Amino acid sequence: MLEDIVESVRARLPAVVAAEEALRGDAAAVPPARGFAGALAVPGLSVVAEVKRRSPSRGDLDPGLDPGGRASEYARGGAAAISVLTEPDHFSGSPDDLTAVRHTVDLPVLRKDFLLHPAQVWESRAMGADAVLLIVAILDGAALPRLLDAAGDAGLDALVEVHTREEASRAVDAGARVVGVNNRDLATFEVDLATAERLRGALGDGVVAVAESGVATPADAARMAAAGYDAVLVGESAVRSGDPAGFVASLRGAR
């Protein structure tokens, strides 16, 4: 499934690369980025709540979701930041969703997509993102530092996502300041919170550590906090919640 998603991204990539110069100009006109890393590096467990219409493994979650309205609910519950899926083919996402969220809430907004080229970093800034997701599993040894440098040039924070100890080492060695451990295996889409517990030590103490996927209850959030994570990123459970603000608040209060 991951290979299918990446192939879809590669098919759209030439148009983005061709527009890189224009995107840099558009990015220069966007207001300064809100600090994503700083918003997560505060006492207690921070919550990054996600705007997500669809999941490749679960199908439609909320096709008619109002991005701005949902983000407002997350903010009311105390979310530290908002993550927005922008990938269209497998997640039904759109840059318009991110722009709507950025104009509605004052929180940092993470563009969650499958970035392969620095032009996509500038595209992210141009659409209003404050941070980008970089997935180590789809980036070779040269691409990760190249994209981290591009994020720095664009004034963006980067959430560097890992799934194994080797990927964690690559992220830390490349200078990642915010590292997310995804509890979802991107090959099988199975979820295991023990993944984050096993890998926390590999991240060291000098990063903002984020546990991604699989957090559905306050007990799950407390488990990630006990493992040493500064934040959790919640998607499907947040979208399906009948009370988004209450759901986020319950995770923030987990001990």
> Which letter does DSSP use for residue 89 in this model?
H
pLDDT at 220: 96
Domain extents for the chain? 2-252
> Which letter does DSSP use for residue 186 in this model?
T
Sign of CA dihedral 247, 178, 42, 255: positive
Report the largest interatomic distance among the alpha carbons of the chain, rounded to a whole angstrom.
48
Q: What is the pTM of this model?
A: 0.95
Q: Which of 58-72, 154-168, 202-216, 240-254 has the lowest mean pLDDT?
A: 58-72
Options 2.40.50.140, 1.10.730.10, 3.40.50.2300, 3.20.20.70; CATH for 2-252 is 3.20.20.70
pLDDT at 188: 75
